[in-house]
Amino acid sequence: MESLYKKKNAYTLLELVLVAAILGVLASFGINTFKGSQARSRDTQRKSDLNQYRVALETYGTNHNGLFPGRNGLFGLWASDKTSCGAGSCYYLCTTDLGLSGCPADPYDGQNKCYGGTTCRYWYQGNNCDNGSACATNFTLRAMLENENAFWVVCANGKSGNVDSATDFSTLGGSCPL
């Protein structure tokens, strides 16, 4: 005798919802991990870019009796966006002082996307003078990191590393905080 109910080979609604929920949870972990790895990648790019500037500054120093561009203020490198720096307040370390044509810029240059909503930009500070000539004996380069509450700092003496984001660079005058 045939059964009144035919057996169906299909998933129930509950099984489908359960599988969708599990996939959603797994996807959210993957997306968060992906975003974190992207931020770490941009931080690595920042470190590499500052090292490129350090090499260019060392070459500049070799050509100028061991002296570096005198920029004692807290100026950004303004490598990519010459219109955002304001009237009379910017200089172009990359193109003017170093004579480079391809200037590395922060992946989020000028945007408030670094740690804690801080503006992402590369900064240069030389000591002793502020007239742009070759008169500084030390310098620091720095960039706010995206994945950590710290600046990445590269110094004329070859040291590099993290410095607390609360560091007051205006009092350092180009001296290495490391």
DSSP per position, the chain: ---SS-------HHHHHHHHHHHHHHHHHHHHHHHHHHHHHHHHHHHHHHHHHHHHHHHHHHHTTT-EE---S--B---S-TTSS-TTS---IIIIIS--SS----TTTTSS-BGGGBPP-EEEEESS--SSSEEES-EEEEEE-SSSSEEEEEETTS-EEEEETT--GGGTTT----
Structural domain includes residue 52: yes
- The whole-number pLDDT of residue 7 equals 66
Q: What is the CATH number of the domain that holds 80?
A: 3.30.700
* Bridge-based pairing state of the strands 122-126 and 68-69: unpaired
- The whole-number pLDDT of residue 1 equals 53
- The whole-number pLDDT of residue 125 equals 84
Structural domain includes residue 8: no
- The whole-number pLDDT of residue 94 equals 73
- The whole-number pLDDT of residue 86 equals 46
Structural domain includes residue 92: yes
What is the domain range of residue 151?
13-171
| Structural domains in the chain (count) | 1
- The whole-number pLDDT of residue 12 equals 83
- The whole-number pLDDT of residue 76 equals 58
Structural domain includes residue 55: yes
* Bridge-based pairing state of the strands 150-155 and 160-164: antiparallel
Structural domain includes residue 152: yes
Other C-beta atoms lying within 10 Å of the C-beta of residue 123: 22
- The whole-number pLDDT of residue 77 equals 60
Residue-wise pLDDT for 29-69, tens only, equals: 767 666 778 888 999 999 999 998 899 899 999 999 999 88
- The whole-number pLDDT of residue 103 equals 77
pTM above 0.75, yes or no: no
Structural domain includes residue 178: no
Structural domain includes residue 4: no
- The whole-number pLDDT of residue 13 equals 83
C-alpha to C-alpha distance for 78 and 93, rounded to whole angstroms: 8
Structural domain includes residue 87: yes
**Under-50 pLDDT residues of the chain:** 79-89
